[in-house]
Structure 1
Amino acid sequence: MSNVEIAVIGRGLIGSAAGRHLAEAGHSVALIGPGEPADYATSDGPFSSHYDEGRITRMIDPDPAWSHLAIRSIERYADIEERSGIPFHTGAGLVYSGADPQADLAHALELDVDAREITAAEVAERFGIDMSSADSIILEAAPAGHINPRRMIAAQSQLTAAAGGTVMDAPVSALAPAPDGVRLTVGSDTLLAGGVLLCTGAWAAELVGVDLPLERSLRTILMAELDDGPTLPSLISRTDPATYEADPRHDIYWVPPVRFPDGRVMLKIGGYDPAASFADDLPTVVDWFRGGGSQAEADDLEARLREFLPDRTILSKDIKPCVVTNTPHDLPWIDWVDDLVAVAVGGCGSAAKSADEIGRLAGTLFTEEGWTDPVLELESFRPSDSG
């Protein structure tokens, strides 16, 4: 049985970031988690939504905390890419229409984000996107754009190992208290850790054995192969929450065309689905990933895509299931759940771009100094009903 100071469970975007930051700070770290299932239809999981080629990266956000998390993370992208030799970031820009875009723009400019208002006519001329129904549109310049989650995790994992951390490609099936730490069952091996950080998304509650206030929304995304046309930016189009009943198809986003493992270059679009169901247990999550998602939600996403891009042709398409893990306070839940186990879970559909800073902040819980951030308070990342 081997020993480490800190075991980070979950080799996703947040976990791999936490592992890197802790290892580079000189801690003995094991970054643990299985790779992507080879066959969704037969796998028992764990699954994850970061098995993907594109996620939006941006700094503009209605919530200042999310903006700070994103800005800090994005500032480190180039260093991570350079030191790992693995590129994962594309500064394609972002077209954004929020519920209160002027307020969001004012906040972004206070943080020195390169953003400006843009007209619907200019959006149509430059990108071929029809946003004529939007009240106001913001264009955020690079480094806004998108990241490749698979490649970013590979870069973080490589740097974790380079700093002396151990990367273990295996699931953790059990945690148990031990006289001198926490005993983990990792595949067929046993590991003793002085402390544990869980970055396991929708799978966290069952593993830690406490009731985590997380909501697991079962969602579907559509990938569409388009004909030739103008180069597209990332896009977010939101409507006022007060109009949900009148226009339930709000909160649409897309990642512009990127190359997927099958060789096709495809745009990925997702959004809010008022008919989305929720998972109360892991068997429901497993069944969702095995089942391939909702065709009805995919059809609605296709209709929205055709509205935004009326002059483009969809050459082929696929659908894919995912799970959005939400928290009661709409920020990642970063906190201790007992004396030796902490969590960094609940991406709320916005964590990919900010994962490096979320992981760094979570890792500070295990340091002698603890959480000392001058801007973001730990209390902000604790749900009010978490105890």
Structure 2
Amino acid sequence: MSFPPLRSLLDALPAYEPSDGVYAGPTRPRLLSANESPHDPLPGIVEAIAAAGATVNRYPDPGCGALTLAIAEALGTDEDQVVVGAGSVALLQTLVQSISDPGAEAVYAWPSFELYPVLSKLAGVVSVPVPLSGAAHDLRAMADRITPSTRLVIICNPNNPTGSVVGSEDLGRFLAAVPPSCLVAIDEAYHEYVRAPQTSSGLRFCEGHPNVVVLRTFSKAYGLAGLRVGYLIGDARVVRRLRKVGLAYSVSAVAQRAAVAALGLEEQLLQRVGTTVAERSRVQDALLDDGWQIPESQANFLWLPLGEEAAGFGRWCASQGIAVRTFPGEGVRVSIGSTEDDDAFLAVASEWRRRPPAAQDPDREARRVRTAVDV
């Protein structure tokens, strides 16, 4: 039976898939795969959600007025420099769509946030991934890849999945080398977890660089991953045009009210962030003591650069009831969770290191047999 033809690129475009067993299966694993906050929502946020729930028969404010004002006040900026979206992913999609003239290019480090290439391809933008130097952005190589066709550069800071950061001085030098016709998006989804003294927010560069925008999210530090709300800060002239691209009514009334409440409870939420940062240090030190080679992270996750062993380790964790995020051939990203969940992961990771190679991957033999049959 024939079916309507869709865009040919969809045949080869990878679909976003959550880690195995997170949303299906007889039991739910320990969730260390999506960089979520392990803390339950604060009572004030729950109350705001309940109150907003009584209004869901009405459309939300398409301009997100109250939330835009609250963000501007919190950051000490003007409302006309803020645009709100359904998570920072939606705002990234808005950016890519906004620069997608024929032949436009987007430059970003790789590996980095896995939706950068997907969003670029869907918008018809040419992806220019630049390999990391170790676990960090290679800013010199990225600058060298900028051409007259480059319309967007994305800096993921801290970088997802490696947790590395770009220092403020290095970022300043890089921005000085970028032509003003090229938009630079600094993706700061994990900014609240940064403790490196040489790093500050990209917001400091917005005033002197009209081509710089900064993206933030309420999904991580503010614990609203299930509501999908984020924001972008930039030059008012850029923001005014970006607002035309975003899908109307995409940020629900519940999400808007919850985010406003979260900003009002910022001190308590950032105390929780401090707890996560301390736990990050504890887990990182435990892995290093156990012989793992891992880079220092400034996010709420750790990166295990396992190369070809990544898929096997991911399957091993899944078989032990722990969900992690696997990047086949590159590494495994492990979110910082509760102390109990982190201790369970540390035990599983330690056992994996001490098992013979044939026993580390529970599906290795089955895959070998299937391959032999296929041949």
- TM-score, normalised with respect to structure 2: 0.26
Which has the larger share of helix? Answer: 2
Which has the larger share of strand? Answer: 1
Whichever of the two has the greater Rg, that structure is: 2
